[in-house]
Amino acid sequence: MKKALRDKPKSKPAKGYKYLKDLKLGSVFITESGTRGVLIGCETNAKVIITECCDNSDLGKKIIAAETEVKEII
């Protein structure tokens, strides 16, 4: 059982993208769907503030997966 957990494949983000867990706190990002936000914390999951989205009901503080693929906006 322990060997199966140790041998799991390591995933990488798509070309040009990073995982939220790899960004610094305070980084601004955009997802593939066009959602923009700011990373405010990242442990098991990422705490973000969504600033722009196609559906305005999703604005504000959210908790999303730390392995969400995003582009960092500099």
The angle formed by the CA atoms of residues 13, 14 and 16, to the nearest 5 degrees, is 105
Contacts of residue 71, defined as CB under 8 A and 6 or more positions apart, other chains included, come to 16, 17, 18, 29, 30, 31
Q: What is the mean pLDDT of residues 31-46?
A: 94
Structure tokens at 40: 């405010």
pTM: 0.81
pLDDT tens track for 39-69 = 999 999 999 999 999 877 789 999 999 999 9
| Least-confidence region, from 2-11, 32-41, 45-54, 63-72 | 2-11
Q: Give the separation between CA 14 and CA 73, rounded to whole angstroms.
A: 16
Domains and CATH numbers, the chain: 13-73 (2.30.30)
The answer on pLDDT for 25 being more than 90 is yes
